[in-house]
C-alpha cells in the first residue's frame, strides 16, 4: 500500500519550468511512485485529484501557494523524498555562471545601479508592494503578475504617471522596448511602427504580421488589459501615445485594446487625434465609425490593422489641426434624414461621450425629454415622436428651426450639425428659411453651424444657390457628408494635452540592465537578449502571513 505526503508553501511562487524540473527530479528518487509540484488553484487541484495526489492540506492551498505532493511505496521513502525538495531546488538560486542572487529589490539595485526596468512576476497579492519598491528606486515597471487588485493598479499607475515612469501591467504579457522583449514576444525586425496595446496576444499578432509584411516595430508597449477601464482611465495608454508621438523612430502608431470603457476610449482617441502621426485603431467588438476619421484609421481585425499600419508607414502624411475647440461643450445634431443621423451617430459614438440619440443604436442613451438635449445629442427629427400631427422636417422646417434656435441659446452647445436635403418633394427653398436664423446665431456670437447639403446641380432648389446662401449666413457648408461629419466631430472632441509629468524619452532606449523579480524564464529571456540582468531570490515577507506583513509594512513606514 502506497503513502501520500504533501507540503504547502505559502506564497512560494515558482516558474512552471522549475516546477516541472522539480517534479521530474522527485519522481526519479528511490521508492517514489508519482509526484506533483503545482501552484494552487482549481485547475491544478483537479489535476492532483486525477493523479490521486490530493489530500486535505493541499485542498486548502490558494492560487499563489506551492503544493508539493509525493506518493511513495513507504512512509520512510515519502518523507525522505520530501526532505530533498530544497536540495533539488538549490541549483536555481544561482545563475548559470554562479553569480550571487540578491534577496531583495534594493540589494539588486545596488548590484545593478544602471537598471532602469524592473520586471515583476510574483503572486498578485504581493506584487503591489514590490511594484512600489520599484517606483521608489525610480525604475519603469513591467508587471507580469495577474490577480492584482483593481484599486492597487489604479494607485500604482497614478503614482507612476505623477513621477513620469512607465508602468506596464498588471497582467501585462508582452512588451518590446527598443528591440528588447519583455514577457511573451516574437522576434520582429526593427521598423517605423509603434504599438500601444491593452491586449497581449493582440500585440504579438499585429507585430508578427507587420514583420511578415516586410516592415518592423519601433516599440510595442503593453499597457495591461484593464488600462482602458473606467477605474484606470487609460493611464498607461496616455503615456505611451505621448511617447510614441515624440519618438523620431516611430512614423505610425497602432492602438489596440479589448473593448474599452466608452468614455475612456473617447478620451484616448481624442489624444490619438491630437498626435502628429497616423494612428491605426482596433478595438475588438467595437462599431467601426468609418474607415478614417482625421488621422485615425479604423481597422476591422488584427490582420487589417497590420496591413493598414504598413501601408501608412510607406507614405507621407500631413498632420491635421488639433481637436477640442469646443472644449467642455457638446455637439448637437439636428437631422431631417434618419440615415444621415445614423451615420453621424456611428462616427461619433467611439469618440464623443456621453452621446445621446433617439435612434436606439447600441448602448447609446436616449433622452428622457425629447425636447431637451443632454451632452452630445444627435436627433432624427423625422422620427415618429417628432412628426405626429405635422409634416416631415424635409418639407416643414418649423420644428427644426425652433430646435436650432434653442440649441444656439444653450451655453453647453459647442457646435450645431444639420442636414439640408434637396430634391423633388422636399421644401422648395430651405435656405430661405434657414439663412435668417443662421445670421442671428452668428451675430449673437452663437456656436458654429455645420450644414451637410445633399443634392445635385439639377435639383429644383438649385444646389449652388443653396450652399452660397447658407455659407453667406455663417454656416460651414459641406456637400461631401463624411468630410462635414469629421469636421463637426473633431471640433467637439475633448482636447487632451500631454501627461501631467511626461515620461522622458530614455524610457524607449534599449535597456542595458534590468532586474527580474519572479519567473526565472523571464530572467533567462532577458539574459538571452544580452541584457545585464539580475534575478532576485524573492520570498514574501513574514512567510506570506498577511497580518504580519501588514505589521512590518507599518513599521517600515
| pLDDT tens by residue, 45-94 | 898 999 999 999 999 888 778 899 999 999 999 999 999 888 887 655 44
Bigger pLDDT: 386 or 212?
212
Q: What span, in angstroms and rounded, lies between the C-alpha atoms of 101 and 491?
A: 56
What pLDDT does residue 94 have?
A: 44
> What pLDDT digit, counting tens, does each position of 215-239 carry?
999 999 999 999 999 999 999 999 9
C-alpha cell at 4: 501520500
CB 47 within 8 A of CB 113: no
Interacting residues of 194 by C-beta distance below 8 A, sequence separation 6+:
217, 218, 219, 220, 221, 244, 247, 249, 250, 252, 253, 254
Interacting residues of 391 by C-beta distance below 8 A, sequence separation 6+:
none
Q: What span, in angstroms and rounded, lies between the C-alpha atoms of 488 and 482?
A: 10
Q: What span, in angstroms and rounded, lies between the C-alpha atoms of 376 and 485?
A: 14
Among 3-17, 177-191, 199-213, the range scoring the smallest mean pLDDT is 3-17
| Mean pLDDT, range 344-360, rounded to an integer | 88
pLDDT at position 473 over 80: yes
C-alpha cell at 465: 444657390
pLDDT at position 341 over 50: yes
Q: What span, in angstroms and rounded, lies between the C-alpha atoms of 486 and 548?
A: 58
φ/ψ bin of 189: left (φ > 0), alpha (ψ from -120 to 50), beta (otherwise): beta
Q: What does residue 3 show for φ and ψ, rounded to 5 degrees?
A: -125, 135
> What pLDDT digit, counting tens, does each position of 531-542 carry?
999 999 887 765
Q: What span, in angstroms and rounded, lies between the C-alpha atoms of 548 and 539?
A: 14
Confidence category of residue 152, pLDDT binned at 50, 70, 90: very high
pLDDT at position 506 over 60: yes
Interacting residues of 36 by C-beta distance below 8 A, sequence separation 6+:
23, 47, 48, 51, 53, 67, 68, 69
Among 339-343, 349-353, 375-379, 401-405, the range scoring the smallest mean pLDDT is 349-353
| CATH code that applies to domain 105-320+536-541 | 3.40.50.261
pLDDT at position 96 over 50: no
pLDDT at position 451 over 90: yes
What pLDDT does residue 384 have?
A: 87
Strands 3-9 and 66-72: antiparallel
pLDDT at position 320 over 60: no
C-alpha cell at 285: 467588438
Rounded percentage of the chain residues whose pLDDT exceeds 90: 66
Q: Which candidate, 203, 258, 213, places its Cα nearest to that of 232?
A: 258
What pLDDT does residue 490 have?
A: 86
Helices (H), 316-368: 338-348
Q: What span, in angstroms and rounded, lies between the C-alpha atoms of 392 and 251?
A: 49
What pLDDT does residue 90 have?
A: 66
pLDDT at position 95 over 50: no
pLDDT at position 549 over 60: no
Q: Which candidate, 256, 154, 164, places its Cα nearest to that of 202?
A: 256
What pLDDT does residue 24 have?
A: 87
Confidence category of residue 474, pLDDT binned at 50, 70, 90: very high
pLDDT at position 97 over 60: no
Tally: H helices and E strands in the chain: 20, 22
What pLDDT does residue 21 have?
A: 80
Q: What span, in angstroms and rounded, lies between the C-alpha atoms of 467 and 530?
A: 65
Q: Maximum distance among all alpha carbons in the chain?
A: 102
Question: Exposed (0-12), middle (13-18) or buried (19+): which is 492, by Cβ within 10 Å?
Answer: buried
Q: Can you give the residue ranges of every domain in the chain?
A: 3-93, 105-320+536-541, 330-492
What pLDDT does residue 551 have?
A: 61
CA angle 219, 221, 222 (to 5 degrees): 150
Q: Which candidate, 497, 475, 496, 498, places its Cα nearest to that of 487?
A: 475
CB 281 within 8 A of CB 307: no
| Mean pLDDT, range 430-457, rounded to an integer | 96
Interacting residues of 43 by C-beta distance below 8 A, sequence separation 6+:
none
What pLDDT does residue 13 have?
A: 62
- Report the CATH architecture of 3-93: 2-Layer Sandwich (3.30)
| Mean pLDDT, range 11-39, rounded to an integer | 82
Is 105-320+536-541's fold the same as 330-492's? yes
In the CATH scheme, what is the homologous superfamily, with its name and number, of domain 330-492?
Succinyl-CoA synthetase domains (3.40.50.261)
| Mean pLDDT, range 178-186, rounded to an integer | 95
Amino acid at each position: 500500500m502506497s503513502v501520500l505526503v504533501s507540503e504547502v508553501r505559502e506564497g512560494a511562487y515558482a516558474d512552471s519550468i522549475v516546477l516541472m524540473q522539480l517534479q521530474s527530479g522527485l519522481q526519479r528518487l528511490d521508492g517514489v511512485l508519482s509526484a506533483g509540484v503545482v501552484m494552487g488553484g482549481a485547475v491544478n487541484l483537479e489535476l492532483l485529484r486525477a493523479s490521486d495526489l490530493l489530500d486535505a492540506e493541499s485542498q486548502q492551498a490558494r492560487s499563489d501557494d506551492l503544493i508539493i505532493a509525493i506518493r511513495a511505496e513507504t512512509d520512510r521513502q515519502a518523507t525522505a523524498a520530501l526532505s530533498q525538495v530544497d536540495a533539488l531546488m538549490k541549483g536555481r538560486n544561482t545563475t548559470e555562471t554562479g553569480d550571487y542572487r540578491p534577496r531583495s529589490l534594493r540589494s539588486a539595485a545596488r548590484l545593478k545601479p544602471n537598471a532602469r526596468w524592473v520586471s515583476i512576476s510574483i503572486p498578485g497579492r504581493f506584487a503591489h508592494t514590490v511594484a512600489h519598491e520599484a517606483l521608489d528606486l525610480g525604475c519603469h515597471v513591467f508587471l507580469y503578475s495577474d490577480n492584482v487588485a483593481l484599486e492597487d493598479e489604479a494607485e500604482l499607475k497614478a503614482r507612476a504617471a505623477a513621477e513620469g515612469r512607465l508602468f506596464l501591467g498588471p497582467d501585462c504579457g508582452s512588451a518590446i522596448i527598443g528591440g528588447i522583449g519583455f514577457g511573451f514576444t516574437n522576434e520582429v525586425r526593427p521598423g517605423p511602427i509603434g504599438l500601444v496595446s491593452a491586449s497581449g496576444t493582440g500585440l504579438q499578432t499585429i507585430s508578427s504580421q507587420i514583420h511578415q509584411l516586410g516592415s518592423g516595430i519601433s516599440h510595442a508597449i503593453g499597457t495591461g488589459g484593464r488600462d482602458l477601464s473606467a477605474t484606470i482611465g487609460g493611464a498607461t495608454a496616455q503615456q505611451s501615445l505621448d511617447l510614441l508621438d515624440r519618438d523620431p523612430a516611430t512614423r505610425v502608431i497602432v492602438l489596440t485594446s479589448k473593448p474599452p470603457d466608452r468614455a475612456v476610449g473617447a478620451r484616448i482617441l481624442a489624444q490619438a487625434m491630437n498626435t502628429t502621426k497616423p494612428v491605426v485603431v482596433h478595438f475588438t467588438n467595437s462599431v467601426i465609425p468609418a474607415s478614417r476619421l482625421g488621422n485615425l484609421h479604423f481597422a476591422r481585425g488584427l490582420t487589417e490593422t497590420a496591413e493598414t499600419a504598413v501601408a501608412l508607414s510607406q507614405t507621407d502624411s500631413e498632420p491635421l489641426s488639433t481637436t477640442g475647440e469646443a472644449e467642455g461643450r457638446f455637439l448637437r445634431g439636428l437631422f431631417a434624414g434618419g440615415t444621415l443621423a445614423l451615420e453621424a451617430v456611428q462616427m461619433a459614438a467611439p469618440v464623443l461621450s456621453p452621446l445621446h440619440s433617439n435612434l436606439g443604436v447600441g448602448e447609446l442613451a436616449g433622452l428622457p425629454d425629447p425636447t431637451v438635449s443632454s451632452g452630445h445629442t444627435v436627433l432624427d427629427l423625422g422620427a415618429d415622436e417628432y412628426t405626429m400631427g405635422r409634416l416631415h422636417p424635409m418639407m416643414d422646417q418649423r420644428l427644426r428651426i425652433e430646435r436650432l434656435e434653442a440649441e444656439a441659446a444653450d451655453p453647453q452647445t459647442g457646435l450645431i450639425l444639420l442636414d439640408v436635403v434637396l430634391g423633388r418633394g422636399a421644401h422648395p427653398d430651405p435656405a430661405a428659411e434657414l439663412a435668417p436664423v443662421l445670421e442671428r446665431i452668428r451675430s449673437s456670437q452663437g456656436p458654429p453651424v455645420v450644414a451637410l447639403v445633399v443634392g445635385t446641380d439639377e435639383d429644383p432648389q438649385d444646389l449652388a444657390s443653396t450652399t452660397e446662401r447658407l455659407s453667406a449666413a455663417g454656416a460651414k457648408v459641406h456637400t461631401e457628408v463624411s468630410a462635414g461629419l469629421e469636421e463637426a466631430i473633431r471640433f467637439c472632441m475633448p482636447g487632451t494635452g500631454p501627461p501631467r509629468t511626461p515620461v522622458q524619452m530614455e524610457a524607449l532606449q534599449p535597456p542595458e540592465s534590468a532586474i527580474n523579480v519572479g519567473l526565472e524564464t523571464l530572467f533567462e529571456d532577458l539574459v538571452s537578449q544580452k541584457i545585464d540582468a539580475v534575478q532576485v531570490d524573492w520570498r514574501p515577507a513574514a512567510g506570506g502571513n498577511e497580518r504580519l506583513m501588514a505589521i512590518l509594512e507599518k513599521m517600515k513606514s
